[in-house]
Amino acid sequence: MMATPILIMWLLAIALILHVFEEVWVSEYKKGQVTWGTVILNYAPIVENIPIFIFAIVLAVIGWRSPMISGILLSVCLTHPLLDHVGLSIKTQSIRAGSLTAIFLMLPLSIWAYAVGYNNALFQAPALVISGMTGLGISIWLFWEVEKELQQKSRSS
């Protein structure tokens, strides 16, 4: 019974890490650096994102032992694709870097994770609300950071 809930947490962590690599790779691709090697060897974007990798792995390790904490991963993987990738893609009328993994990995996996948590009675209402609001807050902050960056780019153009 616990194999699926444990697996889903690790799949979400891997999806988030792949998502970050996609965002970095697409950004470098747009600059004309088209290979994964150039992205991997360009340490700055990877090093900048090490806290995200640690965040994802730590929350996967915590797993369902503390849904109030690990539920933040579920919430971020649900709300970030909607706000940052769907929302900003519509606003800017162009697909944002990272949209493929956000929409086709993170979003469905997070919905599945919530379903698994619900079906296995792994979430209590307070844990669901607190982790959900925390994850939403993180996603709003990420959205706001990208929005500021887009405004700066439009001013300098």
The most distant pair of C-alpha atoms in the chain lies apart, rounded to whole Å, by 55
Q: What is the pLDDT of residues 21-80, one digit of tens each?
A: 888 877 766 666 556 565 556 667 778 889 999 999 999 999 999 999 999 999 999 999
Q: What residue spans define the domains of the chain?
A: 3-156
- Can you state the angle between helices 125-156 and 67-80, rounded to 10 degrees? 40
Could you report the per-residue pLDDT of 94-131, keeping only the tens digit for each? 898 899 999 999 999 999 999 999 999 998 999 999 99
Q: Return the structure tokens found at 83.
A: 């706000």
Can you give the pTM of this predicted structure? 0.86
The two structure tokens encoding residue 94: 């162009």
